[in-house]
Amino acid sequence: MDKTKNGVLTLTEVEVYGVYEDGLHDISVTALQKSTARSTTCQVIGEAFGSGETRRINCGPGVKGSVVRVSSLGKMPRPLSLCEVQVYGTYVTANTELINLAYMKPTKMVSVYQNKVTEYDPLNAVDGSRSGRLYSSSCAATSAVKNAGWQVDLQAIHLIKEVVITNRGDNYGVLFLPHIWID
């Protein structure tokens, strides 16, 4: 892919793959431009994701951002689990091939859930695996906290079209998926 003169990329979609028992919902996807502190809400999702479900969140035309943030807007503390987040886009050129701009980019969460076997590192959500297997280190998860959040730094400003989220695939996969912000 070729960059434009100003290095701006086109971001066309984001995929998020989630987790948890009582429904992945009440999330927001936001795009943020770190250099200007400008953000755009891509979509707020109120309805629950099913176990193993994948959803594509269309960000509309012209949404620019260098950080994609997925956050819970719930008033009750609860974990946020994401098995995969994929951010698709293209450079601003004649090339229209979509690429996953989030793949193996730097990530962070407000907290990292750990048990005796696994640590649910935020980088697990951008490793390219859509398996939805929480306990095989393929998902990211926070501890149960208010306004749980996860984000990926795309390391450049992109035009964002879509975020794709896939939910955890086990018996606890009806998860509250929080609001997703592309910042």
% residues pLDDT > 90 (the chain)? 10
Domain ranges of the chain: 28-182
pLDDT digits 0-9 by tens, 146-165? 878 889 998 887 778 888 88
- Mean pLDDT for all residues in the chain: 72
pLDDT of residue 107: 95
pLDDT of residue 16: 52
pLDDT of residue 87: 85
The predicted model scores a pTM of 0.68
Which band of pLDDT confidence, cut at 50, 70 and 90, is reported for residue 31?
low
- For residues 178 and 16, the answer to whether their CB atoms sit within 8 Å is no
**Distance of alpha carbon 45 from alpha carbon 24, whole angstroms:** 9
Mean predicted confidence (pLDDT) in 125-132: 87
Measured over the CA atoms of residue 45, residue 102, residue 183 and residue 13, the dihedral's sign is negative
Which band of pLDDT confidence, cut at 50, 70 and 90, is reported for residue 126?
very high
pLDDT digits 0-9 by tens, 56-109? 888 777 777 788 888 777 666 777 778 888 888 765 555 667 789 999 999 999
Which band of pLDDT confidence, cut at 50, 70 and 90, is reported for residue 180?
low
Tell which residue, 76, 102, 60, 81, has the closest CA to residue 166. Answer: 81
pLDDT of residue 35: 56
pLDDT of residue 169: 78
**Distance of alpha carbon 54 from alpha carbon 69, whole angstroms:** 17
Identify the burial level of 162 via C-beta atoms within 10 angstroms of its C-beta, where 0-12 means exposed, 13-18 middle and 19 or more buried.
buried
